[in-house]
Amino acid sequence: MTVKTKTIEVASKADTDIINITDHAEKAVKESKLKDGILTIFVPGSTASISTIEYEPNLVADFKDAVERIAPSDIKYRHHETWDDHNGKSHVSATMMGPSMTIPFNDGKLILGTWQQIVLLDFDMPARKRKIVLQAMGE
């Protein structure tokens, strides 16, 4: 088995930015020169996640609305008392979604559904640059 690791960086906007990173994932598989295997995508940090979505404007807006209902901005988060950074909802949202996912690939192509794109979900309050680790394993 061969393992190839690549790190990318993307800029996000504040408070639940959803960024399509499918092209980056496809490029990582292609550059790995592996035919069959799995691609793990991981975002270091505790206020961002990796997932899939049908990346179209109305569903992106629906997802942001759903996150607000699950982890509302206008409630007390005890985390704020610890660091005074006012991103408790960011931590809660990211924890529920998870920092990584694994996607199989065959013949050098990711196995994704027709309307399925890979996304970075950045829940943090300040705009920031995020590093994302893409690790292809296979033959």
Sole residue written with tokens 């005074």 = 84
Q: What does the pLDDT look like over 52-71, one tens digit per residue? A: 999 999 999 999 999 999 99
Higher pLDDT, 123 or 85: 123
Q: Does residue 83 contact residue 89 with C-beta atoms inside 8 Å? A: no
Q: What does the pLDDT look like over 13-24, one tens digit per residue? A: 999 999 999 999
Listed residue (6, 39, 41, 42) closest to 105, CA to CA: 39
Q: Does residue 120 contact residue 48 with C-beta atoms inside 8 Å? A: yes
pTM of the full predicted structure? 0.96
Listed residue (26, 14, 31) closest to 118, CA to CA: 26
Burial class from Cβ neighbours inside 10 Å (0-12, 13-18, 19+) for residue 47 reads buried
Cα(8)–Cα(50) distance, integer angstroms: 14
Question: What architecture does CATH give domain 2-138?
Answer: Sandwich (2.60)
